[in-house]
Chain A
Amino acid sequence: MEFIDLIRRPWPWYVAGPLIGLTVPTLLLIGNKSFGISSSLRHICAACLPANIPFFHYNWKKEIWNLFFVTGVLLGGFLATRFLENPDAFQLSAATIADLKALGIHDFSGLMPADLFDTANLFTLKGLVFFVFGGFLVGFGTRWAGGCTSGHAIMGLSNLQWPSLVATCCFMVGGFAMTHLILPQLMKLF
Chain B
Amino acid sequence: MQNVVSSDTLVCDAPNDMKKTESWTANLKYLVVGMLFGIVFVKAEIISWFRIQEMFRLQSFHMYGVIGSAVVVGLVSVWLIRRFNIKTLAGETVEFHPKTFNKGQIFGGLLFGLGWAITGACPGPLFAQIGSGYVAVIITLLSAVAGTWVYGYLREKLPH
Contact = CB atoms under 8 A, between A and B. Distances in A.
Interface of A is mostly: helix
A95 B10 CA distance: 44
A31 B90 contact: yes
A173 B110 CA distance: 7
A118 interface: yes
B117 A131 contact: no
Contact of B119 (A54, A135, A151): A135
A40 B118 CA distance: 21
Contact of B115 (A31, A36, A53, A135): A135
Given A142-B108, A161-B99, A169-B109, A112 B134 contact: yes
Contacts of A168: 109
Contacts of A58: 10-12
Given A13-B66, A84-B39, A138 B108 contact: no
Given A53-B152, A111-B47, A112-B134, A179 B96 contact: no
Interface residues of B, number: 130
Contacts of A32: 16-19, 88, 90, 92, 94-95
Interface string A147-190: 11111111111111111101111111111111110110010000
Contacts of B90: 31-32
A146 B123 CA distance: 13
Interface in B105-141: 105-124, 126-137, 139-141
- By CB atoms of chain A within 10 A, which of B13, B36, B63, B94 has the most? B13
B40 A139 contact: no
A78 B131 CA distance: 4
Interface of A: 7, 10-45, 49, 51, 53-56, 58, 62-66, 68-81, 84, 90, 92-93, 95-96, 99-100, 108, 111-113, 116-119, 121-122, 127, 129-164, 166-180, 182-183, 186
8 contacts: A22-B77, A25-B80, A32-B88, A77-B131, A96-B53, A139-B144, A139-B148, A159-B97
Interface of B: 5, 10-19, 21-22, 26-57, 59-75, 77-78, 80-81, 86, 88-90, 92, 94-102, 104-124, 126-137, 139-153, 155, 158
